Homo-oligomer: A and B are copies of this chain.
Amino acid sequence: MKYATEEMREGNTTLSLINQRISANKFDTTKIITEQLIQELMEYALKAPSSFNIQHERFVIVRKSEDKEKLKIISWGQQKIADAPVTIIVLGDLDGHKKLPDILGRSVKVGIIDDATATIWTDMANKMYANPSMARDEAIRSASLSAMTLMIAAESKGLVTGPMIGFDPVALKKEFAIADHYVPVMLITMGYSADGNWPQKPRLEVDEVLAFDKGREF
Residues of B within 8 A of A198 (CB): 112-113
Contact between chains at A47 and B19 (CB < 8 Å): yes
Cα A81 to Cα B71 in complex, Å, equals: 44
The chain B residue with its CB closest to the CB of A111 is B199
For chain A, which range describes its interface: under 10, 10 to 19, 20 to 34, or 35 or more residues? 35 or more
Given A156-B12, A163-B49, A63 and B209 touching (CB < 8 A)?
Answer: no
C-alpha spacing A7/B200, complex, angstroms: 27
Residue from A23, A198, A210 whose CB has the most chain B CB atoms within 10 Å = A210
Contact present for A206 and B112 (CB under 8 Å): no
State whether A47 touches B61 (Cβ < 8 A).
Answer: no
Whether B140 lies near A46 (C-beta < 8 A) is: no
Tell me, rounded to whole Å, the shortest Cβ–Cβ distance linking A85 to chain B: 13
Q: Is the CB of A15 within 8 A of B156?
A: yes
Contacting pair B211 A55 (CB below 8 A): no
Complex contacts, A13 vs chain B, CB 8 Å: 12-14
Known: A15-B153, A209-B57. A48 touches B141 (CB 8 A): no
Is A217 in contact with chain B by the CB < 8 A criterion?
Answer: yes
A196 touches B (CB below 8 Å): no
- For window 163-204 of chain A, which residues contact chain B by CB distance below 8 Å? 163, 165, 173, 176-179, 182, 185-186, 198-204
Report yes or no: B138 in contact with A141, Cβ–Cβ below 8 A: no
**A23 CB contacts on chain B under 8 angstroms:** 49
Contact check: which of B151, B173, B209 meets A58 at CB < 8 Å?
B209
Complex interface: chain B residues within 8 A of A61 (CB): 210-213
Q: How does the 8 Å CB contact mask read for A122-157 relative to B, with 1 for contact and 0 for none? A: 000000000000001110110011011101110111
User: Which of the residues B17, B103, B178, B199 comes within 8 Å of A204, measured between beta carbons?
Assistant: B103
In the assembled complex, A9 has its CB within 8 A of some CB on chain B:
no
- 22 A-B contacts, Cβ less than 8 Å apart? A5-B40, A12-B13, A14-B155, A14-B156, A18-B152, A35-B212, A42-B209, A49-B163, A53-B201, A55-B203, A57-B209, A59-B209, A59-B211, A60-B214, A60-B215, A61-B211, A106-B201, A107-B201, A136-B137, A145-B147, A145-B163, A177-B216
